[in-house]
Amino acid sequence: MSGSERPWSPYVAGALSGVLAVASVLVAGKYLGASTTFVRSAGMIENTLSPALVDTAYYLKYNLAVDWQFLFVVGIVIGAFIASRTDGSFRVQMVPDMWTARFGASPLPRALAAFAGGIIGVYGARLAGGCPSGHGLSGLAQMSVSGFVAAACFFIGGIVSARLMYGRATR
């Protein structure tokens, strides 16, 4: 970490994002979430390859077009870009530091793990009915029983997985 980085307190950033979540529900009637966008995007890609591919029950539940959440996810890319450019924390990097320390700096193993983990992660998120945004943040803010169950399982699965990847943590 360079000394020029000036992160905000996660409490402040988190609380402000809570205000944002409430404003979004009030103004647009939309709760924050992200993983449905991956379904829509995958469906849109498959539809251009062959419309027959998306003639299946799950895709038929969704209007396969750009919607509020799709632009929300695009906005996250832009917002993170702006924030990181304004405080010098933007950094082009193919392999994260923690990964390098454990598995080395070669980009290929990291790419394979990110790809495979992404498949498993979103498969699970869709089965669970949402991701840490939809179930975790929006679900827990509404005190939905599904949110508590899913968020607990996200962290239990994640802690076990991280332990398998890294072994016992040494600080």
Partner 1 sequence: MTLVYGLITGIVFGFLLQKGRVLRYDKQLGALRLMDMTIVKFMLSNIIVAMVGIYLLRDLGLVKLSLKATALGPNIIGGLLFGLGWGIVGYCPGTSAGALGEGRLDALWAILGMLGGASLFAHTYPALKETVYTWGNFGKITLPDALGVNHWIVLAVLAALYVLILRFIERKGL
Site for partner 1, residues 136 to 165, rule: CB under 8 A: 136-165
- Distance from C-alpha of 103 to C-alpha of 39, rounded to nearest angstrom: 31
Nearest distance, CB of residue 66 and partner 1, angstroms: 7
Q: State the number of binding residues for partner 1 (CB under 8 A).
A: 132
Buried b (16+ CB within 10 A) or exposed e, 19-56: eebeebeeeeeebbbbbbbbbbeebbebbeeeeeebee
Among 48, 63, 74, 106, binds partner 1 (CB under 8 A): 74
Taking alpha carbons only, the member of 148, 113, 146 closest to residue 127 is 146
Taking alpha carbons only, the member of 136, 170, 166, 165 closest to residue 32 is 136
Nearest distance, CB of residue 21 and partner 1, angstroms: 4
Nearest distance, CB of residue 88 and partner 1, angstroms: 11
Nearest distance, CB of residue 125 and partner 1, angstroms: 5
Buried b (16+ CB within 10 A) or exposed e, 87-122: eeeeeeeebeeebeeeeeeeeeebeeeeeeeeeebb
- Please report, as residue ranges, which positions from 97 to 136 form the binding site for partner 1 (by CB under 8 A): 97-99, 107, 110-136
Nearest distance, CB of residue 97 and partner 1, angstroms: 6
Structure tokens at 169: 């943590």
> Does residue 3 touch partner 1 according to CB under 8 A?
no
Among 63, 71, 104, 106, binds partner 1 (CB under 8 A): 71
Among 50, 51, 52, 91, binds partner 1 (CB under 8 A): 91
- Please report, as residue ranges, which positions from 9 to 38 form the binding site for partner 1 (by CB under 8 A): 9-32, 34-35, 37-38
- Distance from C-alpha of 132 to C-alpha of 145, rounded to nearest angstrom: 14
Structure tokens at 84: 């990181």
Nearer Cβ to partner 1 (10/51): 10
